Chains A and B, each alone.
Chain A
Amino acid sequence: MPLYVYSIIAAAHPCRLDGLTGVGTEPAPVRAVTAGRLRAVVSDVDEEIRPRRRDLAVHQEVQDRLMTDGTVLPLQFGYTAPDDQAVTQVLLEHEDGYLEALERLRGCAEYQVKASQDEDALLREILHESDRARQLNDRIRGGDPDPRLPLELGELVAAEVGERREGLAAGLVQSLVPLARDHSVRAPADGDILNISLLVHDDDKNAFLEAEARLTEQVEDVEFRFNGPLPPYSFV
């Protein structure tokens, strides 16, 4: 029977899977396939799995459970193997690589930081600091119908917005990165200025959380969204 594969862990991992059920409309219990020094955490599936909300949540729930007891290599959502034998074969073939990754990630978790900036506040700041922008804005508001004015104002402001957001994001990255073993910057989603994943060791966890807290206190007009500790999706 086909298997949905969630994670790879060391055979020495306690692997408490009691009570966990897997993906699919008729979820099977989550179980392990052991081979050599590794284990794959799987569940049987007899249907096509789709990225439904429940299934995505189950995928994550399995990682969370495993993470509480040790290091986990989380798979991307959606991988299925034809049978137990295929899983065993992969574990044996790639044993060294997976063990190495597990060792590298030991004691670490991923922390995700996203930030968005209040646009009105940023525009006010730009108008306050740029004489030319303020002048153009005043003329437009005063009723000057020259169609070039909004274009010039917009171009100027757009450039400032881009530069300031980028500068802010770079500053935020530099304030967080020193506390992480590794990091990965992703393109921010629409409206955001920052999307970064950081690999933080448990030893540095408190310092990292303090740094996050400092950012929220000291950086105005920026809304932060912190997630973590998470399984190290970005660092496997």
Chain B
Amino acid sequence: MTVVPQSGSNVSRSTGGGTSSLYDVLELILDRGLVIDVFVRVSLVGIEILKIDARIVVASVDTYLRFAEACNRLDLEAGRKAPTQLTDVVGNAVESGARGKSKGAISGVVDAVTQSLSGSSDDDEEQEEPEEAAEEEEAPRRRRPARRTARRERE
């Protein structure tokens, strides 16, 4: 199992199985797949308890202040690039597509896996090993802690 960076730094590709792709596919293993009702499913308590309907919400004072602060401390010129050139790939999809949709709709259930693996304070023993996985897997994801504050908010 390998994660091979391709064409610059903004991509990782995982092929086949193995533990290093486990983090991103965990949600499939836990939440998707064939269900056979007459069989008994083992307890997933340690994971499911953290499956919160966490909305990354855009309509709250806390979020507004966080964005304002982020803008205030931004170095406006450094690293500014041309706007994303998605239209080259998808034609006019963006314009005709979602531009007009309702605002702040990046929302929904945060997947069980990310939640449970990134939770840091839970002492549930079910979590011990998944967390171990998370530490290994999270490094290349380059998440920034600042983003996590938005998770607290609900619409």
Binding site for B on A (CB under 8 A): 5, 7-8, 48-54, 56-57, 59-61, 63-64, 73-82, 86, 90, 110, 112, 114, 116, 119-121, 123-125, 127-129, 133, 137, 140-141, 149-151, 153-155, 157-159, 161-163, 165-172, 174-175, 186-191, 193, 195, 197, 212-230, 233-234, 236
Contact B36–A79 (Cβ < 8 Å)? yes
Contact of B25 among A78, A161, A219, A230 (CB under 8 A): A230
Complex CA distance for A63 and B85, rounded to whole angstroms: 38
Contact of A213 among B6, B17, B24, B79 (CB under 8 A): B6
Contact A121–B81 (Cβ < 8 Å)? yes
With A171-B94, A187-B111, A189-B114 known as contacts, the answer to whether A153 contacts B67 (CB < 8 A) is yes
Binding site for A on B (CB under 8 A): 6-19, 21-22, 24-36, 38-44, 46-47, 54, 56, 58-59, 61, 63-72, 74, 76, 79-90, 93-94, 97-99, 101, 103-111, 113-115, 118, 126, 129-130, 132-133, 141-144, 146-148, 150-151
Contact A127–B129 (Cβ < 8 Å)? no
Contact of B29 among A76, A195, A229 (CB under 8 A): A76
Complex CA distance for A75 and B33, rounded to whole angstroms: 5
Question: Which residue on A lies nearest to B147, using beta carbons?
Answer: A191
Complex CA distance for A129 and B41, rounded to whole angstroms: 52
A-B contact pairs, 29 of them (CB 8 A): A50-B42, A50-B46, A53-B22, A56-B30, A64-B17, A76-B41, A77-B30, A80-B41, A81-B40, A116-B141, A123-B67, A124-B76, A127-B76, A140-B68, A141-B72, A153-B64, A154-B67, A162-B103, A166-B101, A166-B105, A191-B144, A216-B7, A216-B8, A223-B10, A223-B11, A224-B12, A226-B14, A227-B25, A236-B32
